[in-house]
Structure 1
Amino acid sequence: MASGHVSLQFLGATGTVTGSRFLVGADRVRLLVDCGMFQGERSLRRRNWVPFPVPVTGLDAVVVTHSHLDHVGWLPRLVRQGFAGPVYCSTWTAQVAPIVLRDAAHLQEEDARYASRRGYSRHPDPQPLFDSADAEKAIGLLRPVPYHHEQAVAPGVAVCLTPAGHILGSSIARVTVGARSLGFSGDLGRDDHPLLTGPEPAPGVDAMVVESTYGNRLHPPRDLERLAAPIRRALARGGVVVIPAFAIDRTEVLLMALRELMTAGRLPPVPVFVDSPMALAALQVYRQAVRDGAPEIRPEIRTRSTDPFDPGELRLASTAEESARLNEPRSPCILVSASGMATGGRVVHHLAHLAPEPRNLILLPGFQVAGTRGRALLDGARTLKMYGGYVPVRAEVVGVDDLSAHADAGGLLAWLKTAPAPPRTCYVVHGEPPASAALAERIDRELGWCAVTPRDGERVLV
């Protein structure tokens, strides 16, 4: 039975929006909340190779808030280091996370083989961070937990998950350790998400850990014309629209927006290709959630008789051969491919072929982490490095935040206000330093809470 002091250690997502890992400890109990990969700058990516700072065999369990790579993607590496305990998550995360982990392992293996074949790695025998066997072992550890159910996860430790409205299966986690409690926002969604219901209220806890991806920004009111206008321009000049999109949720929301625009005649009815094995697998899960009437899906979507994800000429590129043909489309079209920040996946091949052509458009529909190709494009890069060489960027580049699935600064503050009582301390994480600092300052000024941006590796008592 856990008793005495309860500690919280920040092992990622401090000073950056990736690598979420939070270690909760009490007596001999150790619980890891989220197990994400670091993405972006090389210095961050190198941290994925650093061994876990405590013996992984001493971890009782892992809780993951949702299935994005920066929250779940390091699980196979944890398994490779010897972890074999349960991984608790929501019911739909247990359906989506295997897609993400298998794809991540495939990309790790593929990149290692490609680097070896092309000789652009600094290592004579490039190795993947983890492989498919590690991913399958991690998938075998997933333990789905229904929302609002108090689940014992270790002696004296329980977790309760509630919907976060960010992606299908995303959760807010309340961890109870003896008489102490901790809340983890995970990634919070928006109340106006077109597919999912909004996040449920914040729990009353002693310590709150809240994300701050958009902690210093406000989303403009949703206006699909910001999406439609650049697409119309590109199609009118005979170009191809390349959209690097996260395979989970962003692709589905994007398809819904394109359907709305084409149905209303605001975009011409051109073919829309989805070229990402992970996105295609996720699309099946999202369609199943709609068919099953999952409570997370908005009621007006659940009651539709038509496929909400088909703009009219939806075409799914399943094979590598179909993907390769999309590098040289014969007519104007829209090409949606992962990854969302162009760090890997099929979209990198498409950018290599299509970025040099001025009539094309590269549309970036969401947050781009510093150090990624997506961020470089947003910042005006005229060349992109990929596969050991450089490619010129002559295509038009446009960023659109309307499809972001993250709550903005106002949404984060509004969510925190729903807590039944203030926490002793609110820890602001998962944001670039200016965003985290701005949100912490607003929490202090507007809510009167003790708000802190923790240091990497810092350990505090709850």
Structure 2
Amino acid sequence: MNIQFLGGTGTVTGSKTLIETGGIRILVDCGLFQGLKTLRELNWEPLPILPSSIDFVLLTHGHLDHCGWLPRLVAQGFSGKIFCTSPTKEIARLVLMDSAKIQEEEAEMANRGGYSKHVVPEPLYTVKQAEQTMPFFRTIKLNEPVLLDAEITAKFSNAGHIIGACSIALEAEGKTLVFSGDIGRENDVLMYAPAKPQKADFVFLESTYGNRLHPADDALLELETYINNTIAKGGTVIIPGFAVERAQTIVYLLWQLKKQGRIPDVPYILDSPMGISVFDIFADNPKWHKWRREDCEAIARTFQMVSDYQETIDIIFDDAPKVIIAASGMLTGGRVLAYLEHYIGKPETTVILSGYQAEGTRGRKLLEGANEIKIRGKYYPVRCNILEIRSLSAHADQKGLLDWLSDMQRKPQKVFLVHGENEAADELRLKITERYGFDCHVPMLGSRLEL
């Protein structure tokens, strides 16, 4: 059995792990690289193997860094099956269509604005190519083995990260390989706690927050304080939100504050067509989350839900105080950029970051104190307040990742730490070795080994 790490190593994006066993090729996740330009350029590179030779894709969940390269895979010849849960399929559909639309729009704007180094800027993939990906999806049931080949099975178990997110146990050649996907938190506002593996010969564990502990801060109090201070100055609050899970969490918390009379009566706006559509997926899959249907309906009445871009323009040029949630969470694209172009230079504006900001993203640059950021070929001075709420992460922290391994009935042969920047992965490696005595390895991008 051979393993090759094609993405999600040394970075939290581009997750792709190739397994070759018994003449079958299986790709666990097929994500988009984000952040640093050197990483983004990898999205344009072909895989070291022909996509047509891959038999199956096993998808842990529908975030862009785990599914966003699928249209390229299909366009280059993949014709196998993509297995995932039903909510993941619906999330992936929204994410891929949104990604393709943004890429088409950005290529068109770069072409009109002349700020691309390419003679004719092209999208990584088109909306049509995203649509052509969906017929390859097959949905599976939670905790029921899926027969991939005569002696190869896969079983999906709840990972607690976003709706539909799973860890995957792959049985092949008498070995059990467990792929964590992204692990959620024990006491998440929306999701149930992740299931812990009990046996594995090899574990592939994410390490996004491998060197950090989430603070025990009161997210409600932080939101209340930041919003009240900003509105009192006549400013606007902008919350970049990942359209899947984070936007819903923030909307839920703001709804709680509004019900309790703790924040002012100004417009509360969710400007994310994809984020709005995710509410329907929550409503259709009540067993996957803690929300009640009546909560979803009450929230929808509290917020101004914006889909039409002309309405976005109208909101942008209305300088009255307001609170806006708009994608994307790391400021890599989406409608939040249109708001930043207008508001980031205003001292009375507050931008609240509430999730992981990968290297090279605008969100990371703002957290690190950038004086200006580049949007669509133009530099904008940063004069607004940049704040962070760290307690809202949808990822387990170092303690959560260590606890996820606590039910193992026997020592695995090796634990591979993936989906993390090098410093985070290496610190988690030391902690796992210290607590459990497991053999841990941080693989290099592109490395290949035999199990």
Alignment TM-score, normalising by the size of structure 1: 0.95
* Alignment of 1:297 onto 2:257: no
Q: Tell me by how many angstroms 1:381 deviates.
A: 1.1
Within 2, Cα distance between the matches of 1:432 and 1:36?
16
| Number of equivalent positions | 450
Structure 1 residue 265: deviation in Å? 2.3
Aligned-partner Cα distance in 2 for 1:236–1:421:
57
1:440 maps to which residue?
429
User: 2:129 and 2:301 mapped to 1: Cα distance?
Assistant: 39
Q: CA deviation at 1:420?
A: 2.5
Residue 30 of structure 1: CA displacement? Answer: 0.4
Q: Which residue of 2 is the match for residue 364 of structure 1?
A: 353
1:53 corresponds to 2:48: yes
Does the Cα contact within 8 Å between 1:263 and 1:311 map onto a contact in 2?
no
How far apart are 1:222 and its partner, in Å?
A: 4.6
The match for 1:144 is: 139
* 1:156 aligned onto 2:148: no
Match of 1:67 among 54, 62, 66: 62
Runs of 4+ in 1 over 6 A off after TM superposition: none
SS of equivalent residue, structure 1 residue 11: strand
Match of 1:244 among 233, 240, 243: 240
Q: Aligned-pair distance for 1:389?
A: 1.0
1:107 paired with 2:102, answer yes
Query: What residue number does 2:212 align with?
Result: 217
Taking the aligned partners of 1:231 and 1:288, their CA distance within structure 2 comes to 32
Partner of 1:235: 231
> Which has the larger displacement, 315-324 or 152-161?
152-161
Q: Compute the TM-score of the two structures, normalised by the length of structure 2.
A: 0.97
Whether the 8 Å contact between 1:256 and 1:309 is mirrored in structure 2 is no
Q: Distance in 2 between matches of 1:103 and 1:113?
A: 15
Contact between 1:427 and 1:453, CA under 8 Å: does it hold in 2?
A: yes
- Residue 386, structure 1, aligned to residue 375, structure 2: yes
Find the aligned partners of 1:51 and 1:398 in 2 and give their Cα distance: 39
CA contact (8 A) 2:371 2:381 kept: yes
Tell me, in whole angstroms, the C-alpha distance in 2 between the residues paired with 1:384 and 1:433: 25
Inter-partner Cα distance in structure 2 for 1:402 and 1:262: 20
When residues 309 and 414 of structure 1 are mapped into structure 2, their CA distance, relative to the original with a 3 A threshold, is farther
Letter paired with 1:371:
G
8 Å Cα contact 2:59/2:84 also seen in 1 = yes
Structure 1 pair 329/313, CA: closer, same or farther in 2 (3 Å)? farther
Residue 330 of structure 1, CA deviation? 4.1
Amino acid at match of 2:447: E
Residue identity in the other structure for 1:351: L
What residue number does 2:3 align with? 8
1:308 is displaced (CA, Å) by 6.9
Query: Please, which of 74, 79, 82 is the counterpart of residue 84 of structure 1?
Result: 79
Q: What secondary structure sits across from 1:93 in the alignment? A: helix
Q: 1:262 corresponds to which residue?
A: 258
5+ residue gaps in structure 2? none
Indicate how the Cα distance of structure 1 residues 311 and 317 shifts in structure 2: closer, same or farther if over 3 A, else same: closer
Q: Which amino acid aligns with 1:348?
A: L
Aligned equivalent of 2:394, options 380, 383, 405 = 405
Match of 1:287 among 283, 286, 295: 283
8 Å CA contact 1:255, 1:309 repeated in 2: no
Range moving further from structure 2, 70-79 or 276-285: 276-285
Query: What is the rounded CA distance, in whole Å, between the counterparts of 2:11 and 2:223 in structure 1?
Result: 28
Show CA shifts across 1:210-234 (max 9, x none). Answer: 0011000001125121222112110
Q: Which amino acid aligns with 2:192?
A: T
Distance 2:209 2:190 in 1: 20
Q: Which residue of 2 aligns with 1:421?
A: 410
Do the aligned residues in 2 keep the contact of 1:148 with 1:161 (CA within 8 Å)? yes
Q: Distance in 1 between matches of 2:364 and 2:190?
A: 26
Tell me, yes or no, if structure 1 residue 395 matches structure 2 residue 387.
Answer: no
- Partner of 1:165 in structure 2? 160
Aligned partner of residue 43 in structure 1, secondary structure: helix
Q: Which SS does the other structure have where 1:143 is aligned?
A: strand
SS of equivalent residue, structure 2 residue 116: coil
Q: 1:461 aligns to what?
A: 450
Aligned equivalent of 2:222, options 218, 226, 234: 226
Secondary structure class of the residue paired with 1:307: helix
Residue 306 (structure 2) aligns with: 317
Q: CA–CA distance in 2 between the matches of 1:423 and 1:268?
A: 53
Q: Is 1:194 paired with 2:189?
A: yes
1:313 CA drift (Å)? 3.1
Q: Is the partner of 1:316 in helix, strand or coil?
A: strand
Matches of 2:58 and 2:198, distance apart in 1: 17
Q: Which moved more, 1:439-448 or 1:419-428?
A: 419-428
Q: Distance in 2 between the 1:222 and 1:29 partners? A: 47
- Determine if contact 1:34/1:62 at 8 Å carries over to the other structure: yes
* 3-state DSSP of counterpart to 1:199: coil
Specify the SS of the correspondent of 1:191. coil
The answer to whether the aligner puts 1:134 opposite 2:123 as a matched pair is: no
Cα distance change of structure 1 residues 281 and 307 upon mapping to structure 2, 3 Å threshold: closer
Distance change (3 Å), C-alpha of 1:401 and 1:308: farther
Deviation of residue 164 (structure 1)? 0.3
Q: Structure 2: how far apart are the matches of 1:155 and 1:36?
A: 28
Preserved contact between residue 55 and residue 79 of structure 2 (Cα < 8 Å):
no
Deviations 1:14-51 (A, max 9, x none): 11110100001113110000000000000000000010
Assess, with a 3 A threshold, how the Cα gap between structure 1 residues 375 and 309 changes in structure 2: closer, same or farther. Answer: farther
Within the candidate set 344, 347, 370, 2:333 is matched to: 344
CA contact (8 A) 2:67 2:92 kept: yes
Query: For residues 140 and 319 of structure 1, do their structure 2 counterparts lie closer, same or farther at Cα, with a shift above 3 Å needed?
Result: same
Q: Is the 8 A contact 2:255 2:302 kept in 1?
A: no
Shift of 1:150: 0.3
Query: What SS does the corresponding residue of 2:227 show, helix, strand or coil?
Result: helix
Q: Percent identity?
A: 39
Tell me: CA distance 1:79–1:311, structure 2 relative to 1, closer, same or farther (3 Å): closer
* Counterpart pick for 1:335 among 324, 349, 353: 324
SS of the residue corresponding to residue 390 of structure 2 reads coil
2:318 & 2:282 partners in 1: Cα distance? 28
